[in-house]
Structure 1
Amino acid sequence: MTSDAHLNELGSFLKARRAELSPRTVGLPDTGGRRVPGLRREEVALLAAISTDYYTRLEQGRIQPSASVLSTLAHVLHLSDHQRDHLFELADRQGARHRRPAAQKAHPQLRRLLDDLTASPGVVIGRRMDILAWNPLAAALLTDFAKVPEDKRNCARILFTDPSMRTLYADWRAVARGCVSHLRMTAAKYPDDPRLTGLVGELSMQDSDFGQWWGSRRAPSRSLGMKRFHHPLVGELVLDWNTFTCGSDPDQELVVWTAEPGTSSYDGLRDLASRAAGQAD
Protein backbone atom coordinates (compact mmCIF):
# COMPACT_ATOMS: atom_id res chain seq x y z
CA MET A 1 0.00 0.00 0.00
CA THR A 2 1.36 3.41 -0.94
CA SER A 3 2.11 5.70 2.01
CA ASP A 4 0.76 9.23 2.32
CA ALA A 5 4.35 10.48 2.11
CA HIS A 6 4.86 8.80 -1.28
CA LEU A 7 1.58 10.17 -2.61
CA ASN A 8 2.57 13.65 -1.44
CA GLU A 9 5.90 13.26 -3.23
CA LEU A 10 4.04 12.08 -6.31
CA GLY A 11 1.86 15.18 -6.23
CA SER A 12 4.87 17.45 -5.80
CA PHE A 13 6.64 15.75 -8.69
CA LEU A 14 3.64 16.24 -11.00
CA LYS A 15 3.29 19.87 -9.98
CA ALA A 16 6.98 20.58 -10.53
CA ARG A 17 6.98 18.93 -13.94
CA ARG A 18 3.84 20.80 -14.96
CA ALA A 19 5.56 24.09 -14.10
CA GLU A 20 8.53 23.20 -16.34
CA LEU A 21 6.47 22.81 -19.52
CA SER A 22 5.24 25.56 -21.81
CA PRO A 23 1.98 25.28 -23.76
CA ARG A 24 3.93 25.16 -27.02
CA THR A 25 5.89 22.14 -25.79
CA VAL A 26 2.69 20.07 -25.63
CA GLY A 27 1.13 21.53 -28.77
CA LEU A 28 -1.19 24.07 -27.14
CA PRO A 29 -1.54 27.74 -28.14
CA ASP A 30 0.14 30.17 -25.76
CA THR A 31 -2.46 32.87 -25.19
CA GLY A 32 -0.46 34.61 -22.44
CA GLY A 33 -1.97 36.01 -19.27
CA ARG A 34 -0.54 33.26 -17.04
CA ARG A 35 0.15 34.27 -13.45
CA VAL A 36 2.64 31.44 -13.02
CA PRO A 37 4.83 29.66 -15.58
CA GLY A 38 3.99 26.24 -16.95
CA LEU A 39 0.78 24.42 -17.78
CA ARG A 40 -2.49 24.84 -15.95
CA ARG A 41 -4.00 21.89 -14.12
CA GLU A 42 -7.02 21.84 -16.42
CA GLU A 43 -4.74 21.69 -19.47
CA VAL A 44 -2.89 18.65 -18.16
CA ALA A 45 -6.21 17.02 -17.23
CA LEU A 46 -7.68 17.60 -20.69
CA LEU A 47 -4.57 16.31 -22.46
CA ALA A 48 -4.69 13.20 -20.26
CA ALA A 49 -8.46 12.76 -20.76
CA ILE A 50 -9.19 12.87 -17.01
CA SER A 51 -11.22 15.34 -14.98
CA THR A 52 -9.60 18.44 -13.52
CA ASP A 53 -10.87 17.40 -10.08
CA TYR A 54 -9.17 13.99 -10.39
CA TYR A 55 -5.88 15.57 -11.46
CA THR A 56 -6.11 18.16 -8.68
CA ARG A 57 -6.46 15.39 -6.10
CA LEU A 58 -3.43 13.67 -7.63
CA GLU A 59 -1.30 16.77 -7.08
CA GLN A 60 -2.69 17.05 -3.53
CA GLY A 61 -1.57 13.48 -2.77
CA ARG A 62 -5.12 12.34 -1.99
CA ILE A 63 -5.49 9.42 -4.43
CA GLN A 64 -3.40 6.66 -5.95
CA PRO A 65 -3.57 6.63 -9.76
CA SER A 66 -3.86 3.53 -11.91
CA ALA A 67 -1.01 2.33 -14.11
CA SER A 68 -2.85 3.49 -17.26
CA VAL A 69 -3.27 7.02 -15.86
CA LEU A 70 0.42 7.11 -14.94
CA SER A 71 1.40 6.02 -18.46
CA THR A 72 -0.79 8.73 -19.96
CA LEU A 73 0.60 11.43 -17.66
CA ALA A 74 4.16 10.33 -18.47
CA HIS A 75 3.40 10.92 -22.14
CA VAL A 76 1.52 14.19 -21.62
CA LEU A 77 4.28 15.62 -19.39
CA HIS A 78 7.04 14.50 -21.80
CA LEU A 79 8.86 12.47 -19.15
CA SER A 80 12.15 10.77 -19.91
CA ASP A 81 12.43 7.04 -19.19
CA HIS A 82 14.20 7.85 -15.90
CA GLN A 83 11.49 10.31 -14.88
CA ARG A 84 8.81 7.83 -15.88
CA ASP A 85 10.34 5.12 -13.69
CA HIS A 86 10.47 7.59 -10.80
CA LEU A 87 6.79 8.44 -11.34
CA PHE A 88 5.80 4.77 -11.08
CA GLU A 89 7.98 4.25 -8.02
CA LEU A 90 6.33 7.17 -6.22
CA ALA A 91 2.93 5.63 -6.97
CA ASP A 92 4.15 2.19 -5.89
CA ARG A 93 3.33 0.74 -9.29
CA GLN A 94 6.65 -0.96 -10.02
CA GLY A 95 4.99 -4.21 -11.03
CA ALA A 96 2.68 -2.45 -13.47
CA ARG A 97 5.39 -0.36 -15.13
CA HIS A 98 5.68 -0.71 -18.88
CA ARG A 99 8.02 0.83 -21.38
CA ARG A 100 6.56 2.77 -24.24
CA PRO A 101 5.83 0.47 -27.18
CA ALA A 102 8.33 0.58 -29.99
CA ALA A 103 7.55 3.08 -32.73
CA GLN A 104 5.50 1.53 -35.52
CA LYS A 105 7.30 1.18 -38.84
CA ALA A 106 5.79 0.66 -42.27
CA HIS A 107 5.78 -2.99 -43.31
CA PRO A 108 8.38 -3.70 -46.06
CA GLN A 109 5.74 -5.12 -48.43
CA LEU A 110 3.63 -1.99 -48.12
CA ARG A 111 6.70 0.11 -48.85
CA ARG A 112 7.34 -1.89 -52.01
CA LEU A 113 3.74 -1.37 -53.08
CA LEU A 114 4.16 2.37 -52.54
CA ASP A 115 7.29 2.37 -54.67
CA ASP A 116 5.34 0.74 -57.51
CA LEU A 117 2.47 3.25 -57.29
CA THR A 118 3.71 5.96 -59.64
CA ALA A 119 0.33 7.11 -60.99
CA SER A 120 -1.73 6.92 -57.79
CA PRO A 121 -1.17 8.68 -54.44
CA GLY A 122 -0.70 6.30 -51.54
CA VAL A 123 0.13 6.45 -47.82
CA VAL A 124 0.62 3.85 -45.09
CA ILE A 125 -1.38 4.66 -41.96
CA GLY A 126 -0.57 3.25 -38.50
CA ARG A 127 -2.70 2.42 -35.47
CA ARG A 128 -3.25 6.03 -34.33
CA MET A 129 -3.56 7.37 -37.89
CA ASP A 130 0.19 8.05 -37.84
CA ILE A 131 1.64 8.42 -41.34
CA LEU A 132 4.29 5.71 -41.61
CA ALA A 133 5.17 6.05 -45.31
CA TRP A 134 4.03 7.81 -48.48
CA ASN A 135 4.88 8.09 -52.15
CA PRO A 136 5.83 11.32 -53.97
CA LEU A 137 2.38 11.73 -55.52
CA ALA A 138 0.71 11.58 -52.09
CA ALA A 139 3.01 14.38 -50.94
CA ALA A 140 2.11 16.38 -54.04
CA LEU A 141 -1.63 15.82 -53.49
CA LEU A 142 -1.84 16.36 -49.74
CA THR A 143 1.23 17.96 -48.14
CA ASP A 144 5.00 17.55 -47.97
CA PHE A 145 5.07 15.01 -45.14
CA ALA A 146 8.87 15.14 -45.02
CA LYS A 147 8.63 18.69 -43.65
CA VAL A 148 6.35 17.59 -40.79
CA PRO A 149 8.26 16.46 -37.65
CA GLU A 150 7.97 12.70 -37.28
CA ASP A 151 6.22 12.89 -33.90
CA LYS A 152 3.60 15.24 -35.45
CA ARG A 153 3.15 13.25 -38.67
CA ASN A 154 -0.42 12.16 -38.01
CA CYS A 155 -3.46 12.33 -40.32
CA ALA A 156 -5.82 13.68 -37.65
CA ARG A 157 -3.35 16.27 -36.34
CA ILE A 158 -2.57 17.55 -39.85
CA LEU A 159 -6.23 17.60 -40.85
CA PHE A 160 -7.23 19.71 -37.83
CA THR A 161 -4.15 21.93 -37.41
CA ASP A 162 -2.97 22.67 -40.98
CA PRO A 163 -5.17 25.50 -42.37
CA SER A 164 -4.49 24.44 -45.97
CA MET A 165 -6.45 21.21 -45.39
CA ARG A 166 -9.69 23.18 -45.04
CA THR A 167 -9.36 24.50 -48.57
CA LEU A 168 -7.79 21.37 -50.10
CA TYR A 169 -10.78 19.17 -49.18
CA ALA A 170 -14.00 20.41 -50.79
CA ASP A 171 -15.99 18.96 -47.88
CA TRP A 172 -13.53 19.31 -45.04
CA ARG A 173 -16.14 18.85 -42.31
CA ALA A 174 -17.26 15.47 -43.64
CA VAL A 175 -13.65 14.30 -43.95
CA ALA A 176 -12.83 15.57 -40.46
CA ARG A 177 -15.86 13.87 -38.88
CA GLY A 178 -14.88 10.61 -40.54
CA CYS A 179 -11.39 11.02 -39.10
CA VAL A 180 -12.80 11.51 -35.59
CA SER A 181 -14.96 8.42 -36.03
CA HIS A 182 -11.90 6.40 -37.03
CA LEU A 183 -10.02 7.60 -33.95
CA ARG A 184 -12.95 6.64 -31.72
CA MET A 185 -12.86 3.09 -33.08
CA THR A 186 -9.13 2.93 -32.40
CA ALA A 187 -9.61 4.28 -28.86
CA ALA A 188 -12.20 1.58 -28.18
CA LYS A 189 -9.67 -1.03 -29.31
CA TYR A 190 -6.75 0.46 -27.36
CA PRO A 191 -8.25 2.28 -24.35
CA ASP A 192 -4.93 2.42 -22.47
CA ASP A 193 -2.80 3.86 -25.28
CA PRO A 194 -1.27 7.04 -23.74
CA ARG A 195 -0.18 8.51 -27.09
CA LEU A 196 -3.68 8.17 -28.48
CA THR A 197 -5.15 9.69 -25.34
CA GLY A 198 -2.69 12.55 -25.58
CA LEU A 199 -3.57 13.15 -29.24
CA VAL A 200 -7.29 13.31 -28.46
CA GLY A 201 -6.69 15.70 -25.57
CA GLU A 202 -4.44 17.93 -27.68
CA LEU A 203 -6.92 18.19 -30.56
CA SER A 204 -9.83 18.73 -28.17
CA MET A 205 -8.00 21.73 -26.73
CA GLN A 206 -7.07 23.17 -30.12
CA ASP A 207 -10.28 22.66 -32.08
CA SER A 208 -13.82 23.02 -30.73
CA ASP A 209 -15.28 20.96 -33.58
CA PHE A 210 -13.03 18.03 -32.68
CA GLY A 211 -14.12 18.17 -29.04
CA GLN A 212 -17.79 18.31 -30.00
CA TRP A 213 -17.56 15.48 -32.52
CA TRP A 214 -15.52 13.32 -30.17
CA GLY A 215 -18.32 13.47 -27.61
CA SER A 216 -21.10 12.69 -30.09
CA ARG A 217 -22.24 9.36 -31.45
CA ARG A 218 -21.20 8.74 -35.02
CA ALA A 219 -21.45 5.82 -37.41
CA PRO A 220 -18.19 3.88 -37.96
CA SER A 221 -15.85 5.32 -40.56
CA ARG A 222 -15.75 3.79 -44.01
CA SER A 223 -12.81 2.06 -45.68
CA LEU A 224 -13.59 3.34 -49.18
CA GLY A 225 -15.40 6.17 -50.90
CA MET A 226 -14.90 9.35 -52.92
CA LYS A 227 -13.21 12.63 -52.05
CA ARG A 228 -13.23 15.93 -53.89
CA PHE A 229 -10.13 18.14 -53.79
CA HIS A 230 -9.50 21.77 -54.72
CA HIS A 231 -5.82 21.45 -55.54
CA PRO A 232 -3.85 24.72 -55.88
CA LEU A 233 -1.84 23.44 -58.87
CA VAL A 234 -4.16 21.22 -60.94
CA GLY A 235 -7.61 22.37 -59.87
CA GLU A 236 -10.54 20.14 -58.96
CA LEU A 237 -9.89 16.42 -58.52
CA VAL A 238 -12.57 13.82 -57.84
CA LEU A 239 -10.77 10.73 -56.56
CA ASP A 240 -11.92 7.34 -55.35
CA TRP A 241 -10.09 6.00 -52.32
CA ASN A 242 -9.74 2.55 -50.79
CA THR A 243 -7.85 0.99 -47.90
CA PHE A 244 -5.95 -2.28 -47.83
CA THR A 245 -5.12 -3.84 -44.46
CA CYS A 246 -1.70 -5.41 -43.96
CA GLY A 247 -2.17 -9.15 -43.36
CA SER A 248 0.81 -9.47 -41.00
CA ASP A 249 0.02 -6.26 -39.10
CA PRO A 250 -3.72 -5.38 -39.05
CA ASP A 251 -2.85 -2.02 -37.42
CA GLN A 252 -1.36 -0.84 -40.72
CA GLU A 253 -3.37 0.20 -43.77
CA LEU A 254 -2.40 1.29 -47.25
CA VAL A 255 -4.68 4.08 -48.48
CA VAL A 256 -4.73 4.68 -52.24
CA TRP A 257 -6.49 7.37 -54.32
CA THR A 258 -7.37 6.72 -57.98
CA ALA A 259 -9.21 8.57 -60.75
CA GLU A 260 -11.51 7.11 -63.40
CA PRO A 261 -9.73 7.00 -66.79
CA GLY A 262 -10.99 9.49 -69.35
CA THR A 263 -12.03 12.08 -66.77
CA SER A 264 -10.53 15.50 -66.08
CA SER A 265 -9.50 14.21 -62.65
CA TYR A 266 -7.53 11.42 -64.35
CA ASP A 267 -5.72 13.99 -66.48
CA GLY A 268 -5.17 16.24 -63.46
CA LEU A 269 -3.65 13.40 -61.46
CA ARG A 270 -1.29 12.61 -64.35
CA ASP A 271 -0.33 16.28 -64.51
CA LEU A 272 0.36 16.27 -60.77
CA ALA A 273 2.43 13.09 -61.10
CA SER A 274 4.50 14.72 -63.84
CA ARG A 275 5.11 17.77 -61.65
CA ALA A 276 6.11 15.56 -58.70
CA ALA A 277 8.52 13.59 -60.88
CA GLY A 278 10.02 16.82 -62.19
CA GLN A 279 10.62 18.10 -58.69
CA ALA A 280 12.25 14.78 -57.73
CA ASP A 281 14.58 15.02 -60.74
Structure 2
Amino acid sequence: GLRREEVAQRAHVSAAWYTWLEQGRGGAPSADVLDRLARALLLNDAEREHLFLIGLGHPPEVRYHASRDVTPRLQHVLDSLEASPAIVRTATWDVVAWNDAAAATLTDYATLPPPARNILRLIFVDARVRDAQQNWERVARFAVGAFRADIARGGATQAVQTFIDEMRATSAEFDAMWRDHDIHSHDEGTKEIRHPTAGRIALEYSAFSVTGRPDLSLVIFTPATPADRARIRALVAARDKARERADQSHAPAA
Protein backbone atom coordinates (compact mmCIF):
# COMPACT_ATOMS: atom_id res chain seq x y z
CA GLY A 1 0.00 0.00 0.00
CA LEU A 2 1.03 3.54 -0.71
CA ARG A 3 1.66 6.02 2.06
CA ARG A 4 -0.63 9.04 2.28
CA GLU A 5 2.12 11.36 1.06
CA GLU A 6 2.80 9.15 -1.97
CA VAL A 7 -0.86 9.12 -2.99
CA ALA A 8 -1.04 12.90 -2.63
CA GLN A 9 2.10 13.36 -4.71
CA ARG A 10 0.82 11.08 -7.49
CA ALA A 11 -2.54 12.89 -7.53
CA HIS A 12 -0.86 16.32 -7.51
CA VAL A 13 -2.59 17.46 -4.32
CA SER A 14 -1.13 18.45 -0.97
CA ALA A 15 -0.73 15.83 1.74
CA ALA A 16 -2.71 18.05 4.12
CA TRP A 17 -5.63 18.33 1.69
CA TYR A 18 -5.61 14.56 1.10
CA THR A 19 -5.71 14.02 4.87
CA TRP A 20 -8.72 16.33 5.14
CA LEU A 21 -10.41 14.39 2.32
CA GLU A 22 -9.92 11.11 4.17
CA GLN A 23 -11.40 12.71 7.27
CA GLY A 24 -14.42 14.09 5.38
CA ARG A 25 -13.35 17.72 5.79
CA GLY A 26 -12.93 20.50 3.25
CA GLY A 27 -16.03 19.96 1.12
CA ALA A 28 -16.64 17.75 -1.90
CA PRO A 29 -13.70 17.19 -4.26
CA SER A 30 -13.97 17.96 -7.96
CA ALA A 31 -14.37 15.25 -10.60
CA ASP A 32 -10.86 16.07 -11.86
CA VAL A 33 -9.35 15.50 -8.42
CA LEU A 34 -11.20 12.21 -8.00
CA ASP A 35 -10.00 11.09 -11.42
CA ARG A 36 -6.40 11.88 -10.44
CA LEU A 37 -6.83 10.01 -7.17
CA ALA A 38 -8.24 7.01 -9.03
CA ARG A 39 -5.16 6.95 -11.27
CA ALA A 40 -2.84 7.44 -8.29
CA LEU A 41 -4.45 4.51 -6.48
CA LEU A 42 -4.48 2.37 -9.66
CA LEU A 43 -8.22 1.77 -9.33
CA ASN A 44 -10.07 -0.34 -11.86
CA ASP A 45 -13.29 0.92 -13.49
CA ALA A 46 -15.56 -0.52 -10.78
CA GLU A 47 -13.42 0.95 -7.97
CA ARG A 48 -13.25 4.30 -9.78
CA GLU A 49 -17.04 4.39 -10.07
CA HIS A 50 -17.37 3.59 -6.35
CA LEU A 51 -14.98 6.44 -5.51
CA PHE A 52 -17.11 8.90 -7.51
CA LEU A 53 -20.33 7.65 -5.89
CA ILE A 54 -18.84 8.24 -2.44
CA GLY A 55 -17.21 11.57 -3.29
CA LEU A 56 -19.82 13.18 -5.54
CA GLY A 57 -22.93 11.03 -5.26
CA HIS A 58 -22.96 10.07 -8.94
CA PRO A 59 -20.83 7.90 -11.24
CA PRO A 60 -18.10 9.41 -13.42
CA GLU A 61 -18.69 10.40 -17.01
CA VAL A 62 -18.45 7.51 -19.42
CA ARG A 63 -14.86 6.89 -20.42
CA TYR A 64 -14.50 5.14 -23.75
CA HIS A 65 -11.45 3.24 -24.84
CA ALA A 66 -10.84 1.36 -28.05
CA SER A 67 -11.92 -2.29 -28.00
CA ARG A 68 -11.20 -5.07 -30.42
CA ASP A 69 -12.21 -8.10 -28.39
CA VAL A 70 -14.54 -9.33 -25.67
CA THR A 71 -14.09 -11.66 -22.72
CA PRO A 72 -14.59 -15.41 -23.27
CA ARG A 73 -17.60 -15.30 -20.95
CA LEU A 74 -19.30 -12.60 -23.00
CA GLN A 75 -18.62 -14.58 -26.18
CA HIS A 76 -20.15 -17.61 -24.46
CA VAL A 77 -23.30 -15.56 -23.80
CA LEU A 78 -23.48 -14.74 -27.51
CA ASP A 79 -22.95 -18.35 -28.53
CA SER A 80 -25.69 -19.58 -26.18
CA LEU A 81 -28.27 -17.54 -28.13
CA GLU A 82 -28.60 -20.13 -30.88
CA ALA A 83 -31.68 -18.68 -32.64
CA SER A 84 -31.22 -15.02 -31.71
CA PRO A 85 -28.67 -13.01 -33.69
CA ALA A 86 -26.50 -11.07 -31.24
CA ILE A 87 -23.59 -8.67 -31.63
CA VAL A 88 -21.33 -6.54 -29.44
CA ARG A 89 -20.60 -3.05 -30.76
CA THR A 90 -18.24 -0.27 -29.70
CA ALA A 91 -18.81 3.46 -29.21
CA THR A 92 -18.27 3.98 -32.95
CA TRP A 93 -20.56 1.03 -33.74
CA ASP A 94 -17.77 -1.31 -34.78
CA VAL A 95 -18.93 -4.92 -34.40
CA VAL A 96 -16.28 -6.72 -32.33
CA ALA A 97 -18.15 -9.94 -31.48
CA TRP A 98 -21.11 -11.89 -32.84
CA ASN A 99 -22.71 -15.32 -32.81
CA ASP A 100 -23.48 -17.80 -35.58
CA ALA A 101 -27.09 -16.62 -35.80
CA ALA A 102 -25.88 -13.07 -36.53
CA ALA A 103 -23.41 -14.31 -39.13
CA ALA A 104 -26.09 -16.40 -40.84
CA THR A 105 -28.90 -13.84 -40.65
CA LEU A 106 -27.36 -10.34 -40.64
CA THR A 107 -23.78 -10.21 -41.95
CA ASP A 108 -20.95 -12.73 -42.00
CA TYR A 109 -18.60 -10.39 -40.18
CA ALA A 110 -15.71 -12.88 -40.23
CA THR A 111 -15.44 -12.45 -44.00
CA LEU A 112 -14.92 -8.69 -43.65
CA PRO A 113 -11.74 -6.87 -42.63
CA PRO A 114 -12.12 -5.26 -39.17
CA PRO A 115 -12.60 -1.68 -40.49
CA ALA A 116 -15.57 -2.87 -42.57
CA ARG A 117 -17.31 -4.45 -39.56
CA ASN A 118 -19.10 -1.24 -38.75
CA ILE A 119 -22.87 -0.91 -38.63
CA LEU A 120 -23.01 2.55 -40.20
CA ARG A 121 -20.44 1.71 -42.89
CA LEU A 122 -22.44 -1.39 -43.78
CA ILE A 123 -25.73 0.52 -43.94
CA PHE A 124 -24.39 3.34 -46.10
CA VAL A 125 -21.67 1.65 -48.17
CA ASP A 126 -22.45 -2.08 -48.50
CA ALA A 127 -24.97 -2.72 -51.31
CA ARG A 128 -25.97 -6.13 -49.92
CA VAL A 129 -26.89 -4.66 -46.55
CA ARG A 130 -28.79 -1.84 -48.23
CA ASP A 131 -30.77 -4.33 -50.35
CA ALA A 132 -31.62 -6.42 -47.28
CA GLN A 133 -33.52 -3.56 -45.62
CA GLN A 134 -37.29 -3.39 -46.04
CA ASN A 135 -37.11 0.42 -46.00
CA TRP A 136 -33.49 1.49 -46.32
CA GLU A 137 -34.01 5.23 -45.84
CA ARG A 138 -36.04 4.74 -42.65
CA VAL A 139 -33.44 2.31 -41.30
CA ALA A 140 -30.57 4.64 -42.20
CA ARG A 141 -32.19 7.72 -40.67
CA PHE A 142 -33.00 5.83 -37.51
CA ALA A 143 -29.43 4.48 -37.25
CA VAL A 144 -27.92 7.96 -37.62
CA GLY A 145 -30.25 9.38 -34.96
CA ALA A 146 -29.54 6.49 -32.59
CA PHE A 147 -25.79 6.87 -33.11
CA ARG A 148 -26.06 10.59 -32.33
CA ALA A 149 -27.93 9.76 -29.11
CA ASP A 150 -25.27 7.20 -28.16
CA ILE A 151 -22.37 9.62 -28.51
CA ALA A 152 -24.31 12.33 -26.68
CA ARG A 153 -24.54 9.99 -23.70
CA GLY A 154 -20.94 8.86 -23.91
CA GLY A 155 -19.16 11.98 -25.07
CA ALA A 156 -17.70 12.76 -28.50
CA THR A 157 -14.13 11.55 -28.17
CA GLN A 158 -11.55 12.23 -30.85
CA ALA A 159 -12.04 8.71 -32.22
CA VAL A 160 -15.79 9.29 -32.52
CA GLN A 161 -15.32 12.68 -34.21
CA THR A 162 -12.80 11.20 -36.65
CA PHE A 163 -15.27 8.46 -37.53
CA ILE A 164 -18.09 10.98 -38.09
CA ASP A 165 -15.86 13.10 -40.34
CA GLU A 166 -14.92 10.01 -42.33
CA MET A 167 -18.55 8.94 -42.78
CA ARG A 168 -19.61 12.44 -43.86
CA ALA A 169 -16.83 12.49 -46.45
CA THR A 170 -17.63 8.96 -47.65
CA SER A 171 -21.41 9.15 -47.93
CA ALA A 172 -23.41 12.18 -49.05
CA GLU A 173 -26.53 10.47 -47.68
CA PHE A 174 -24.97 10.10 -44.24
CA ASP A 175 -23.81 13.72 -44.35
CA ALA A 176 -27.32 14.95 -45.17
CA MET A 177 -28.93 12.84 -42.43
CA TRP A 178 -26.28 13.89 -39.91
CA ARG A 179 -27.02 17.55 -40.58
CA ASP A 180 -30.69 16.93 -39.72
CA HIS A 181 -29.69 16.44 -36.04
CA ASP A 182 -32.38 13.79 -35.44
CA ILE A 183 -32.22 11.83 -32.18
CA HIS A 184 -33.59 8.30 -31.74
CA SER A 185 -33.45 5.70 -28.98
CA HIS A 186 -31.89 2.39 -29.98
CA ASP A 187 -32.61 0.61 -26.70
CA GLU A 188 -35.31 -1.58 -28.22
CA GLY A 189 -37.47 -1.83 -31.30
CA THR A 190 -38.32 -3.93 -34.34
CA LYS A 191 -36.45 -4.68 -37.53
CA GLU A 192 -37.30 -6.49 -40.76
CA ILE A 193 -34.77 -7.83 -43.22
CA ARG A 194 -34.97 -9.52 -46.60
CA HIS A 195 -32.59 -12.46 -46.50
CA PRO A 196 -31.43 -13.65 -49.95
CA THR A 197 -32.37 -17.29 -49.22
CA ALA A 198 -34.73 -17.23 -46.23
CA GLY A 199 -36.85 -14.30 -47.35
CA ARG A 200 -38.47 -11.89 -44.91
CA ILE A 201 -37.38 -12.19 -41.26
CA ALA A 202 -38.94 -10.04 -38.54
CA LEU A 203 -36.87 -9.31 -35.44
CA GLU A 204 -37.29 -7.53 -32.13
CA TYR A 205 -34.08 -6.07 -30.74
CA SER A 206 -32.87 -4.92 -27.33
CA ALA A 207 -29.58 -3.16 -26.56
CA PHE A 208 -27.77 -3.50 -23.23
CA SER A 209 -24.71 -1.83 -21.76
CA VAL A 210 -21.91 -4.21 -20.82
CA THR A 211 -21.22 -3.83 -17.10
CA GLY A 212 -17.75 -2.46 -16.48
CA ARG A 213 -17.26 -1.71 -20.18
CA PRO A 214 -19.05 1.56 -21.04
CA ASP A 215 -17.50 1.42 -24.50
CA LEU A 216 -19.44 -1.76 -25.39
CA SER A 217 -23.11 -2.54 -26.04
CA LEU A 218 -24.73 -5.95 -26.47
CA VAL A 219 -27.53 -6.01 -29.05
CA ILE A 220 -29.81 -9.06 -29.20
CA PHE A 221 -32.26 -9.64 -32.07
CA THR A 222 -35.10 -11.95 -31.02
CA PRO A 223 -37.25 -13.64 -33.70
CA ALA A 224 -40.67 -11.98 -33.75
CA THR A 225 -42.62 -15.18 -34.46
CA PRO A 226 -42.08 -18.95 -34.36
CA ALA A 227 -41.82 -18.88 -38.15
CA ASP A 228 -39.01 -16.32 -37.96
CA ARG A 229 -37.26 -18.47 -35.36
CA ALA A 230 -37.53 -21.49 -37.65
CA ARG A 231 -36.01 -19.52 -40.54
CA ILE A 232 -33.05 -18.46 -38.41
CA ARG A 233 -32.50 -22.01 -37.14
CA ALA A 234 -32.52 -23.25 -40.73
CA LEU A 235 -29.95 -20.63 -41.72
CA VAL A 236 -27.69 -21.58 -38.80
CA ALA A 237 -28.04 -25.29 -39.63
CA ALA A 238 -27.15 -24.63 -43.28
CA ARG A 239 -24.14 -22.62 -42.15
CA ASP A 240 -23.01 -25.48 -39.88
CA LYS A 241 -23.33 -28.00 -42.74
CA ALA A 242 -21.35 -25.77 -45.08
CA ARG A 243 -18.64 -25.47 -42.45
CA GLU A 244 -18.53 -29.25 -41.99
CA ARG A 245 -18.18 -29.80 -45.74
CA ALA A 246 -15.37 -27.25 -45.86
CA ASP A 247 -13.57 -28.98 -42.98
CA GLN A 248 -13.92 -32.37 -44.68
CA SER A 249 -12.58 -31.04 -47.97
CA HIS A 250 -9.47 -29.78 -46.20
CA ALA A 251 -8.95 -32.96 -44.17
CA PRO A 252 -5.90 -35.05 -45.18
CA ALA A 253 -6.61 -38.28 -47.07
CA ALA A 254 -6.47 -41.48 -45.02
Query: TM-score when scaled to structure 2?
Result: 0.65
Give the distance between the partners of 1:236 and 1:206, measured in 2 at CA.
30
Give how far 1:261 is off.
Answer: 4.4
Q: Please tell me the residue identity of whatever aligns with 2:228.
A: S
Call closer, same or farther: CA 1:226–1:190 in 2, change over 3 Å. Answer: closer
Matched residue SS, 2:183:
coil
Matched, 1:278 2:211: no
2:57 pairs with 1:106 = no
Instruction: Give the SS at the match of 1:114.
Output: helix
In the other structure, the counterpart of 1:138 is: 102
CA distance 1:181–1:163, shift in 2 (3 Å): same
Q: Give the direction of change, closer, same or farther, for the CA distance of 1:102–1:122 in structure 2 (3 Å limit).
A: closer
Code of the aligned partner of 1:226: T
| Alpha-carbon shift at residue 121 of structure 1 (Å) | 1.0
Displaced runs of 4 or more, over 4 A: 189-192
Q: What letter is aligned with 2:158?
A: P
Give the counterpart letter for 2:110 in structure 1. Answer: A
Matched residue, 2:161: 197
SS at match of 1:252: strand
Aligned length: 181
- The answer (yes or no) to whether the contact 1:165–1:172 under 8 Å persists in 2 is no
Q: What CA distance in whole angstroms lies between the structure 2 residues aligned with 1:102 and 1:203?
A: 18
Q: Match for 1:138: what amino acid?
A: A
Match of 1:161 among 119, 125, 132: 125
Sort the Cα spacing of 1:114 and 1:214 in 2 relative to 1 into closer, same or farther, 3 A: same
- Structure 1 position 225 matched with structure 2 position 189: yes
One of 237, 249, 255 as aligned partner of 2:219: 255
Confirm whether residue 183 of structure 1 aligns to residue 147 of structure 2.
yes
The answer on whether the counterparts of 2:208 and 2:218 sit within 8 Å (CA) in structure 1 is yes
8 Å CA contact retained: 1:141, 1:231:
yes
Aligned letter for 1:116? S
Asked whether the 8 Å contact 1:140–1:276 carries over to 2, the reply is yes
Contact 2:85/2:222, CA 8 A, preserved across alignment: yes
Q: Deviations over 1:195-229 (max 9, x none)?
A: 22222122212222211111113133221111111
CA–CA separation in structure 2 for the residues paired with 1:214 and 1:227: 21
Q: Is the 8 A contact 2:134 2:194 kept in 1?
A: yes
Cα deviation code 1:86-143 (max 9, x no counterpart): xxxxxxxxxxxxxx95544324432110121112111111111111101122111122
Q: How big is each residue's C-alpha offset from its partner over 1:14-49, in whole Å with a ceiling of 9 and x where there is no partner?
A: xxxxxxxxxxxxxxxxxxxxxxxxxxxxxxxxxxxx
Which consecutive residues of structure 2, in runs of 5 or more, have no partner in the other structure? 1-63, 245-254
Q: What is the CA-CA distance between 1:168 and the residue it aligns to?
A: 0.6
Larger Rg, first or second structure (1 or 2) = 2
Identity of aligned residues (%): 29
Spell out, residue by residue over 1:155-184, the C-alpha distance to the aligned partner (whole angstroms, 9 max, x if none).
Answer: 111111101111111122222112212322
Deviations 1:41-68 (A, max 9, x none): xxxxxxxxxxxxxxxxxxxxxxxxxxxx
Cα–Cα, structure 1 residues 161 and 270, in superposed 2: closer, same or farther, change >3 Å? Answer: same
Unpaired runs of at least 5, structure 1: 1-99
Change (3 A) 1:107 1:171: farther
